[in-house]
């Protein structure tokens, strides 16, 4: 099977970089990157400069779906993307998940899957997705799984903390791998299927991200239609899982911890003066410190807002905390380090942020403002994780045959297949 890729919400090319490092045979035949409400499209400009031979569109994905025939979309066998996650962010207020402004982009992905039927899909998002929204835990991910089910896909997911697998940042994200039920891979995966060993030994993530133990398991038969899921579904998704047919098994796993790269290992030398904090540190100490502040809600309820302390400065003998899009600005989440040469306190440089995500130095130094360079890295993924997944995909594609893209399986068929092919009973 040709290693052709469509990269959605491409940013500055994290999936492209990771896949490229896993094997030179990957061919990104189409990329799309568009930042709404921005006149300057800096991430797109960076992508096209770094990948000049890739056809890249700077268009709203809804426009592409609504006028599909105008864009001559090529055939591809792998769809990848870190679709926008602001509405799921734990730092967001009033989040609405799939119903939110950015959450609706899931439905655009769903349209592409329905139309193009790529055999394989690899998506990335914040792990908060599994618990969204707060008043109906698990609904949003349940809707996504229902969509995959109705399109004839099986799914596996894993929440991965990059630092636990040897990288320099404690960046925790969910990766979602889906595959058509007409693929060789699906046929191979359902052989001798055992819920107690599958995710640890046979699953998509098992070899590249080894598991020490499985600590708990939840099961569910997803029979409901999408509307019913949206209205009523609640379920505790754990940090790994799979859905084959309509049978969901989710498990809490303990990783095999690998030695990590520490924050001090990626720091630059000879840093410019502009990155230093100066002598006035009171504001920084307050922002980073623990707090217990009396507040009153809109309805008049009095409560205490509490906030734990953050290390100030950040320790250099451990992986970094998660970078946010506000990195380097004067706020609580910005990393502050003690410079290796001067022993003075400073923020991270753009190059150091690129290193934390595994990009080459000055990857985003393509004409965008420095502030937006930080923003791009706060949005990016750890490319080394995708590189490992690409190694697994290399073997999957080598063993694959050309699938029939036009097959559509209805929900009743899914349920029947799930009952006859899955080799364990659910409570």
The tokens for 372 are 């937006």
Using N-to-C axis directions, what is the helix angle for 139-150 and 411-421, rounded to 10°?
Answer: 90
Calpha distance 152→175 (Å, rounded): 19
Q: Which of 6, 46, 85, 353 is catalytic?
A: 85
Beta bridge partners of 345: 338
Residue 169 is classified by DSSP as: B
**Rounded CA gap, 105 and 127, in Å?**
17
**Could you tell me how many residues make up the chain?**
427
* CA nearest neighbour of 248 among 182, 157, 131: 157
Q: By C-alpha distance, which of 161, 156, 162, 194 is closest to 178?
A: 156
Q: What is the CA angle 186-188-189, rounded to 5?
A: 65
Instruction: Report the C-alpha gap between 137 and 149 in whole angstroms.
Output: 20
For 337, what's the count of Cα atoms within 13 Å in the CB-facing half-sphere? 29
Structure letter (DSSP) for residue 332? T
169 touches 319 (CB < 8 A): yes
- Confirm whether 376 is a catalytic residue: no
Beta partners for residue 306, in sequence order: 292
Q: 399: helix, coil or strand?
A: coil
DSSP 217: E
- The contacts of residue 166 (CB under 8 Å, 6+ apart) are 258, 259, 260, 261, 384
Give the residue numbers annotated as catalytic, written as ranges: 85
């Amino acid at each position: 099977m040709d290693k052709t890729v469509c990269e959605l919400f491409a940013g500055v090319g994290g999936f492209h970089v990771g896949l490229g490092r896993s094997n030179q045979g990957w061919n990104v035949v189409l990329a799309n990157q568009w930042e709404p409400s921005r006149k300057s499209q800096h991430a797109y400009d960076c992508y096209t400069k770094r990948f000049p031979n890739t056809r890249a569109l700077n268009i709203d994905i809804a426009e592409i779906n609504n006028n599909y025939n105008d864009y001559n979309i090529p055939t591809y066998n792998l769809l990848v993307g870190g679709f926008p996650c602001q509405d799921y962010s734990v730092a967001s207020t009033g989040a609405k998940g799939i119903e939110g402004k950015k959450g609706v982009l899931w439905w655009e992905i769903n349209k592409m899957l329905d139309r193009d039927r790529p055999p394989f899909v690899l998506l990335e998002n914040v792990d908060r997705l599994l618990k969204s929204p707060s008043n109906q835990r698990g609904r949003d991910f349940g809707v996504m799984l229902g969509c995959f089910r109705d399109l004839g896909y099986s799914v596996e997911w894993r929440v991965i903390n990059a630092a636990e697998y040897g990288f320099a940042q404690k960046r925790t994200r969910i990766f979602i791998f889906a595959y058509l039920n007409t693929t060789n891979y699906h046929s191979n995966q359902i052989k001798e299927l055992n819920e107690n060993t599958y995710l640890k030994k046979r699953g998509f993530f098992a070899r590249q991200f080894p598991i020490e133990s499985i600590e708990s398991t939840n099961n569910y038969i997803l029979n409901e239609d999408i509307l019913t899921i949206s209205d009523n579904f609640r379920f505790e998704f754990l940090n790994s899982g799979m859905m084959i047919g309509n049978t969901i098994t989710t498990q809490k796993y303990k990783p095999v911890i690998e030695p990590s790269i520490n924050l001090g290992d990626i720091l630059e030398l000879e840093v410019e003066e502009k990155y230093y904090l100066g002598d006035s540190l009171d504001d920084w100490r307050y922002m980073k410190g623990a707090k217990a502040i009396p507040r009153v809600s809109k309805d008049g309820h009095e409560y205490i807002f509490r906030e734990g302390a953050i290390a100030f400065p950040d320790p250099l003998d451990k992986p970094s905390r998660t970078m946010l899009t506000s990195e380097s600005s004067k706020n609580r989440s910005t990393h502050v380090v003690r410079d290796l040469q001067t022993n003075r306190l400073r923020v991270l440089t753009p190059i150091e942020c690129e290193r934390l995500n595994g990009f080459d130095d000055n990857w985003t130094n393509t004409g965008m403002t420095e502030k937006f360079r930080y923003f791009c890295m706060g949005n990016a993924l750890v490319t080394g994780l995708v590189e490992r997944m690409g190694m697994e995909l290399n073997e999957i594609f080598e063993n694959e045959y050309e699938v029939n893209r036009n097959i559509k399986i209805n929900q009743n068929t899914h349920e029947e297949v799930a009952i006859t092919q899955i080799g364990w009973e659910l409570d």
